Structure 1
Amino acid sequence: MTTETIKKPLWRRLILPLIGGGIAGFLVAFGFLNLSEMANGADLGDSREIGGLVGALYAFTGLSVLVGVLSPGFGAKFLNVEDADELREQRKMLSYSGVAMILLGGALMLLALSGEGAFLPAQTGLIGAIALIVVATVLSIVSHRHTDELQRALSNDAVSSAFYIVFVIGGGWAMLAHLDYVAGPAPLDWLSMFAASLLVGAFWQTARRGLLMRGPN
């Protein structure tokens, strides 16, 4: 007797994660933008809002990973894994990574809400962001010790892709600003580009290896 595994059509495998991700992303963005308005009763500006949204995306992604680790059966339905057993096997690595992402996202949101004309004083934002980044860095190093060869190669390639993304977008923007064609990027814009490019790089390298659609979703 042979057992045949029937895969769902691609659109059926994608529809629920896309709808769920879209709704969650909207709620996260809506929540941060409302928080920024409540903070000082005024528009924080494009740089701060974009930086905060990128930070919120990091925090949401890390939180999603932690939920999947705590409940592997549920996490296997929306995370990019083969099955719940994979989440159980990688519990340590994913836990460290998830917390690190939340902390990095928190640091970016904290910076977006700090400084002149924002909700928090600059000194508070600086101290808080540095502390969060230091802890996130330590957790990332610990997490790296629990990765396999494929994951390490994927991570290295994602960082390489992120470098080229920042070089093209950030470098092109800086070049045009130098020639007075556009306004130059603000310091927070660079931080947002660094953070966002890592996510894009990771997504691209995962897709390039054919790992985006795994499991029974």
Structure 2
Amino acid sequence: MMSDAKQPGGKAFWRKVAVPAMFGGVFGFATAFALGSFADGRWVGGLSTSAEIALIGGGLYVMIALMTLIGTLNPKAGARYLNVEDAGELAEMRTVLVNSCIAMALWGAALVALALAAPGPVPAPLALASALVGLLGGAVFAWRSWKLSDELMAAVTTEANSLTALLAFAVLGGWGMLAHLGYLAGPQPLDLLTGLYALSLLATFVTVARRGMMRLG
């Protein structure tokens, strides 16, 4: 018989999976709506569809990083909505997670800068400089996080990166192939970058699930 922690109707399931999932869905929708409204507002208006999607994607990266960072710095609160056993696990992983959150926030900010580039409100040279700082800075903090990770987390990172590459080849490569043959409209340059961001998140989720690391209680 399944324990209460693993039963879909168990209290632990609702506390560790269903409630955080619903919270994440509402939070994600609210963030996307706010960013979409910002993109259509008087200060930004005129962005292309690709730029708006990139803005939302980058903004979600930043917000996810901030929410995770808040939970990491406040383990008692973080244990309620992050995928961990308890507050003690967050305390043990604090340095790794802080570096990872900073990397994610910088990468998200880089995509936001590119989304706002001319003909948006940010001049192209400034957007390029901001994006390079974000991407390279994020890489430094991601490397620091990986170096501080234990063997399991380092393996998860490697697997997620490999899966991201495979998904990118299949999804983005397939899109390019069909566009070349005239079956689909070709991707805009910014679409490719936004796609990599989205596939990276998907690959991480799949890898964590395959490793049996989705905490149910």
TM-score using structure 2 length: 0.91
Please give the root-mean-square deviation of Cα atoms over the aligned residues, in Å: 1.6
Q: Deviations over 1:105-136 (max 9, x none)?
A: 111111111122x1211111101111111211
Equivalent position of 2:45 in the other structure: 41
CA distance in 1, matches of 2:34, 2:127: 20
Distance in 2, matches of 1:40 and 1:155, equals: 36
* Aligned equivalents of 2:177, 2:70: Cα separation in 1: 42
Per-residue CA distance 1:111-167 (angstroms, 9 max, x = gap): 111122x12111111011111112111111111111011111111111111111111
Aligned to 2:59: 56
Q: Which residue of 1 aligns with 2:179?
A: 177
Matched, 1:195 2:197: yes
Q: Please list, as runs of the form range in 1=range in 2, the aligned pairs for 1:38-187 lying within 5 A after superposition.
A: 38=41, 39-42=43-46, 44-116=47-119, 118-187=120-189
User: How many residues are paired up?
Assistant: 209
- 1:209 Cα deviation (Å)? 1.3
Distance (whole Å) between structure 2 residues aligned to residue 211 and residue 197 of structure 1: 19
Alignment partners' CA distance in 2, 1:128 and 1:63:
19
- Distance, in Å, in 2 between the alignment partners of 1:121 and 1:190 is 21
5+ residue gaps, structure 1: none
Q: TM-score, normalised by structure 1?
A: 0.91
SS at match of 1:145: helix
Q: Any gaps of 5 or more consecutive residues in structure 2? A: none
Distance in 1 separating the partners of 2:30 and 2:23:
11
Match of 1:7 in 2: 5
Q: Percent identity of the aligned residues?
A: 39
Moved over 4 A (4+): none
Provide Cα deviations, 1:23-60, integer angstroms capped at 9, x if missing partner: 11112101211221123333x22211221222122112
